[in-house]
Chains A and B, each alone.
Chain A
Amino acid sequence: NAGVMQNPRHLVRRRGQEARLRCSPVKGHSHVYWYRQLPEEGLKFMVYLQKENIIDESGMPKERFSAEFPKEGPSILRIQQVVRGDSAAYFCASSLMGDLEEFFGPGTRLTVL
């Protein structure tokens, strides 16, 4: 049974470029969460999605960031016009509806030059 998969594992972008982070949840899980971890900080909630719906995006910056979880395919976290401050590890987690334990992916480490 494959766990949560994220790709790429490492992503390097120059300022102003776009970053696309992908997350494939555990098979059968319909709830996806994205978290950002800045150096020396804990995980900060960004967005909670179910298939084709954004349930809670209260942790997402108002500009440049967007997320989707289409009916088919992985969840995508998209960062437009990246800046150095976007450099962080981005973790995706999934859960089965009603479960309390989240299964985390290995994370994508974004570096903005």
Chain B
Amino acid sequence: EDKVVQSPLSLVVHEGDTVTLNCSYEVTNFRSLLWYKQEKKAPTFLFMLTSSGIEKKSGRLSSILDKKELFSILNITATQTGDSAVYLCAVLIYNFNKFYFGSGTKLNVKP
């Protein structure tokens, strides 16, 4: 059965800290891996990763994919309270373009 596992499940840090969120996957017909940020509303798209070893960067957020070891990490540097959210990892497979989501990492950034 296809699955996506995120760790840690929750994380509490202080402003200015750097955090690394992990996503490992075990799927057939892997196409891409996506990261979303979810606050008290619908998930918003952060990154899409398709190739191994190529870092995607947006401000203080960056992400990279390792297709050999089947995982991705999402880094957030100099965290701010506005980064507090649930970060979801999703894997897209070729079969009917279906997404599988992890259970998310709940990040709490304290002032």
- Residues of chain A having any CB pair with chain B under 8 Å: 4, 31, 33, 35, 40-45, 48, 55-56, 91, 95, 100-102, 104-107
Contacts and interface: CB of A to CB of B under 8 A. Distances in A.
A42 B88 contact: yes
26 contacts: A31-B97, A33-B99, A35-B101, A41-B104, A42-B88, A42-B101, A42-B102, A42-B103, A43-B43, A43-B88, A43-B90, A43-B101, A45-B101, A48-B97, A48-B98, A56-B95, A56-B96, A100-B34, A100-B48, A100-B92, A100-B97, A102-B45, A104-B42, A104-B43, A104-B44, A105-B42
Contact of A44 (B31, B42, B48, B101): B101
Nearest to B44: A104
B100 A45 contact: yes
A56 B100 CA distance: 13
A9 to B, nearest CB: 10
Contacts of A56: 95-96, 98
B48 A101 contact: yes
A96 B45 CA distance: 15
Residues of B contacting A: mostly: strand
Residues of A contacting B: mostly: strand
A109 B103 CA distance: 18
- Contact size class for B? 20 to 34
B88 A102 contact: no
Contacts of A101: 34, 45, 48
Contacts of A42: 4, 6, 88, 101-104
Interface in B1-18: 4, 6
A62 B75 CA distance: 39
B92 to A, nearest CB: 6
Contacts of A44: 101
Contacts of A100: 31-32, 34, 48, 92, 97
